[in-house]
């Protein structure tokens, strides 16, 4: 099982390639090989999955009843623009142009380990989606983690 943590400041080259941070790369499951899946996030970011983790989600979403309109909408929007990408021998992968545009990525990126997946953000957009008030963060933690 993959386990990704921490935040990393990264650069995107002129061709749209990002070098995966060494600690992220080191935690990729061996079964994924060099193949990863990148898709649009629910927020304006990209989500990067090892193939084994994406297949778990794929099974759940692809298994929904195709005769239900809401399920079809979920499937269409979840899978649109999903791309299989491969790491080259230096740990780089090419981010498709439409995805760069969706996430507002240009030269700089913040790569965030999120357990079984990785988020890729434009630094300014990332800051906008973080909780700046410690009390709000504490309330959310209490609401969802207090048993």
81 to 40, 42, 64, 76: CA distances (angstroms): 7, 13, 19, 10
Q: What is the per-residue pLDDT across 124-147, written as a single tens digit (0 to 9) for each? A: 999 999 999 999 999 999 999 986
Nearest to 119 by CA among 22, 49, 65: 49
Tokens of 21: 């941070």
Taking residues 24-51, what's their average pLDDT?
91
Q: What is the pLDDT of residue 32?
A: 66
Q: What is the per-residue pLDDT across 96-126, written as a single tens digit (0 to 9) for each? A: 999 999 999 999 999 999 999 999 999 999 9
Q: What is the pLDDT of residue 147?
A: 65
Hey, what domains does the chain have and what are their CATH numbers?
Answer: 7-122 (3.40.1550.20)
Taking residues 51-60, what's their average pLDDT?
94
Helix axes 51-62, 69-79, angle to 10 degrees: 160
Q: What is the per-residue pLDDT across 65-98, written as a single tens digit (0 to 9) for each? A: 999 999 999 999 999 879 999 999 899 999 999 9
Q: What is the pLDDT of residue 85?
A: 96
């Amino acid at each position: 099982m993959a386990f990704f943590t921490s935040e990393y400041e990264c650069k995107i080259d002129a061709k749209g390639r990002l070098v995966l941070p060494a600690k992220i790369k080191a935690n990729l499951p061996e079964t994924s090989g060099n193949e990863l899946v990148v898709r649009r996030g629910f927020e304006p970011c990209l989500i990067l999955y090892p193939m084994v983790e994406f297949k778990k989600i794929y099974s759940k979403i692809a298994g929904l009843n195709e005769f239900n309109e809401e399920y079809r909408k979920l499937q269409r929007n979840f899978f649109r623009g999903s791309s299989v990408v491969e790491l080259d021998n230096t740990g780089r992968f090419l981010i498709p142009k439409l995805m760069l545009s969706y996430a507002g990525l240009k030269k700089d990126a913040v790569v965030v380990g999120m357990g079984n997946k990785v988020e890729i953000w434009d630094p300014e957009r990332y800051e906008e989606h973080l909780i700046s008030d410690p009390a709000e963060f504490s309330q959310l933690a209490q609401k969802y983690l207090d048993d």
